[in-house]
Structure 1
Amino acid sequence: YRIQEDETQLLQFLDSKFGKGQTNGPDFFYDPKYALRLCLKEKRMRACVRIYSMMSMHEEAVALALQVDPELAKAEADKVEDDEDLRKKLWLMIAKHVIEQEKGVKRENIRKAIAFLAETGDLLKIEDILPFFPDFVLIDDFKEEICKSLKDYNNQIEILKQEMNDATRGADNIRSDISALAQRYAVIDREEECGVCKRKILTAGALQQIGRGYTSMASMVPFYIFPCGHAFHAQCLIAHVTRCTSQSQAEYILNLQKQLSLLVSKAQKGTGGSGHDDPVTSTTSIDKLRSQLDDAVASECPFCGDLMIREISLPFIAPEEAEQMTSWEIRPQVSSAQKILPMTMSI
């Protein structure tokens, strides 16, 4: 087919032997590079454009198509759908060629260029093709298109302004929510009980060290109240969370608690006149540790959050309660008066 003047049959052959789109088929049923060399040798340019396109060499395909037919180049440029930047680059190549090849009246060339812009849809704008015109072209010839482009930009600016205003209002709303959250409070009945130890939540004397932990109530809030209504003594909550969470998270919580207790103790000694640490720095460090501890143990209610779900894998009897469980075992007792008689059978 390559030696025939009419390339129709050659193009049909190239398309029919192009394997893309066939299930489990090769990309080509022929060597595309060899076919390209043969077509270039015989100057079958449309076939070369088709092979370049099949090999995803779109820039080469458009550049060669411009030497044959600008309409063919436009068709090749439109084949690129998933890469907007490449598609724009190809259309700019076509625009430059069209503008530089026009030899007619200047105003007629400008009208053709503007008509060409319409073919690209919204892909190219007047400012994209202005560099391709000679310097002596009057701007009046592009007045209508420039005004249209400026109007489009103004519309985009207004949209951006609206988005910025929406973002600003959203930020203000978030700041208001944060401020309201910091001032939120809960009313506690004096008979309210701790969810862990079942003692009254407002009875400070009932607090005691439970489970593992580094205990120092002076460095902590006395209790935690969650939006769901559950309340816990601080030490009870820490003991419960460290018992039910992972080993690494438990160690992290206990380490925070210890650091906080030591910092508070150090700050209290410093207020007595013998310390040299900056009180502002100490207060900042204490507040930071308290915030980290709050995030670690009170980010969610242990009875309503994910922690309760993870407790499914925990045994009902904790290892430290094994001795107590043993004390409840029922053992059979045999009195000395009872005798075990052998059972015999007679036939």
Structure 2
Amino acid sequence: MLDAYETVESWMMARNKLNPGKLIPAMMRYVSEPHAKNETHEVIKYLEFCVKDLNNEDPGVHNLLLSLYSKKADESQLLQFLDTKFGSGQANGPEFFYEPQYALRLCLQAKRMRACVRIYSMMSMHEEAVALALRVDLELAKAEADKVEDDEELRKKLWLKVAKHVIEQEKGVKRENIKKAIEFLSETNNLLKIEDILPFFPDFVLIDDFKEEICKSLKDYNSQIEQLKAEMDDATRGADNIRSDIGALAQRFTVIDREEECGVCRRKILTVGGLHQVGRSYTSVGHMAPFYVFPCGHAFHANCLIAHVTRCTSQVQAARILNLQKQLSLMDRKAAKDNGGTGNGESTVSSAPTVDKLRSQLDDAVASECPFCGDLMIKEISLPFILPGESVEKASWEIKPQPASQKILPMTMSI
């Protein structure tokens, strides 16, 4: 450049009409020339103008500016450039436009260790950032360890690395150094405890130096144990209450009026077996057909309830109910055959738990809620008023037009 100042001023006046990337060879010739310490670096001035004012996103421009910052004795401009992250304001864009690997290599060559720590952190290489920061500044290492928020395990690992450095810095023998290490625990926001850092101390350290902190740790553990005991007691009481409720539920009863009708067939619930056939797999009460009574007051014969639920529920649930009925019927026939003469009764006793289990599953399937008060009634809204199988019934209600030959005689009424 013949006159660097005037050249850069003309470039800045041209603004976006020039492509800064194509001007890099000319800028490199200026950079290679010797300059006075207090002389304004015209290339840095122009590159800063491109990045800050023109929002240039060319990686070559950003890389060149970063390399020039790394060669300056004052590291503040380099750190400020790294912290600015010129691309962070854009949606779905990169946080920075320079190449981080190239920037890291430059800073390592120039021994700009604080900048290297920043770059390691930007690349999510937190362990390397903390390890390098410990060689530069302890407070910088603490700040880097505290940056990790979404990974508790990694954050603890980084703080342990810092704690080990603090303890081994003076070999951890002197009483003041031990106190300093123990005070360090409060800076971790309870992330580290005394037992976490004890392995870093020499074996010959007196236990008296840790007495207060160990007692505090034991007290914390005791509080946690008491809290767990209280939670276990609450869970035990809850389980006891549930068992009591289940026991009370098994003993619950209701009173049925002898005129009470089945909600489906409208016959009396207390119908004797001759008028209403007793279904298989149910135990009849005397000569009465088995029935269900719900807390809401509705009552149904067992067979009527099964038929109603099977008709109104989904095909999958209906198939499950019919399958349970089939299994119970087969087991009833087998039990009747065994009791008929050839069996010794042992197979009947052994199959009783299976029968009870199947019957319980059938009860849950058909009687988990009242069909007139529960979700089943709501689902019936989507069913047609006249089912496909009731076409004959539908035809019987049709009003047929009268033949033209028939006359309708007027009816007179006298008062």
Give the TM-score taking structure 1 as reference length.
0.90
Q: Counterpart of 2:310?
A: 242
Q: Counterpart of 2:29?
A: none
Report deviation, 1:103. Answer: 5.2
Q: Counterpart of 1:341?
A: none
Q: Answer yes or no: is 1:306 the counterpart of 2:366.
A: no
Q: Answer yes or no: is 1:152 the counterpart of 2:197.
A: no
Q: Counterpart of 1:67?
A: 135
Instruction: Summarize the alignment of residues 1-347 of structure 1 with structure 2, pairs less than 5 Å apart.
Output: 1-17=69-85, 19-20=87-88, 22-102=90-170, 106-205=174-273, 206-207=275-276, 215-216=279-280, 218=282, 222-275=290-343, 278-336=347-405
> Residue deviations 1:126-182, cap 9 Å, x none?
111000001111111111111111111111111111111111111111111111111
Would you say the 8 A contact 1:222–1:234 is kept in 2? Answer: yes
Would you say the 8 A contact 1:17–1:30 is kept in 2? Answer: no
Q: Which has the larger radius of gyration?
A: 2
Q: Counterpart of 2:413?
A: none
Would you say the 8 A contact 2:262–2:269 is kept in 1? Answer: yes
Q: Answer 1 or 2: higher relative contact order, Cα 8 Å, separation at least 6.
A: 1
Using the alignment, how far apart are the partners of 2:172 and 2:313 within structure 1?
Answer: 82
Report deviation, 1:207. Answer: 2.7
Closer/same/farther in 2, CA of residues 161 and 36 from structure 1, 3 Å limit: same
Using the alignment, how far apart are the partners of 2:81 and 2:105 within structure 1?
Answer: 16
Using the alignment, how far apart are the partners of 2:221 and 2:152 within structure 1?
Answer: 20
Would you say the 8 A contact 1:219–1:261 is kept in 2? Answer: no
> Residue deviations 1:202-246, cap 9 Å, x none?
11344359xxxxx52646781111122211111111001110111
Q: Name the SS of the counterpart of 2:311 in structure 1.
A: helix
Q: In terms of mean alpha carbon deviation, does 301-310 or 135-144 score higher?
A: 301-310
Would you say the 8 A contact 1:52–1:60 is kept in 2? Answer: yes
Using the alignment, how far apart are the partners of 1:21 and 1:230 within structure 2?
Answer: 67
Using the alignment, how far apart are the partners of 1:336 and 1:122 within structure 2?
Answer: 103
Structure 1, gaps ≥5 residues long: 210-214, 339-347
Using the alignment, how far apart are the partners of 2:202 and 2:88 within structure 1?
Answer: 44
Report deviation, 1:268. Answer: 2.1
Report deviation, 1:27. Answer: 3.2
Using the alignment, how far apart are the partners of 1:128 and 1:317 within structure 2?
Answer: 75
Would you say the 8 A contact 2:173–2:202 is kept in 1? Answer: no
Would you say the 8 A contact 1:219–1:264 is kept in 2? Answer: no
Structure 2, gaps ≥5 residues long: 1-68, 408-415
Using the alignment, how far apart are the partners of 1:66 and 1:189 within structure 2?
Answer: 87
Using the alignment, how far apart are the partners of 1:228 and 1:234 within structure 2?
Answer: 17
Would you say the 8 A contact 1:62–1:77 is kept in 2? Answer: yes
Would you say the 8 A contact 1:225–1:231 is kept in 2? Answer: yes
Instruction: Report the residue type matching 2:207 in the other structure.
Output: I
Q: Name the SS of the counterpart of 2:390 in structure 1.
A: helix
Using the alignment, how far apart are the partners of 1:204 and 1:21 within structure 2?
Answer: 83
Instruction: Report the residue type matching 1:38 in the other structure.
Output: L
Aligned residues: 333
Q: Name the SS of the counterpart of 1:119 in structure 2.
A: helix
Report deviation, 1:101. Answer: 0.9
Using the alignment, how far apart are the partners of 1:253 and 1:151 within structure 2?
Answer: 58
Instruction: Report the residue type matching 1:140 in the other structure.
Output: D
Closer/same/farther in 2, CA of residues 31 and 91 from structure 1, 3 Å limit: same
Give the TM-score taking structure 2 as reference length.
0.76
Instruction: Report the residue type matching 1:319 in the other structure.
Output: P
Q: Name the SS of the counterpart of 1:224 in structure 2.
A: strand
Would you say the 8 A contact 2:173–2:205 is kept in 1? Answer: no
Give me the identity figure in percent. 77
Instruction: Report the residue type matching 1:125 in the other structure.
Output: K
- Aligned-residue RMSD, C-alpha: 2.0
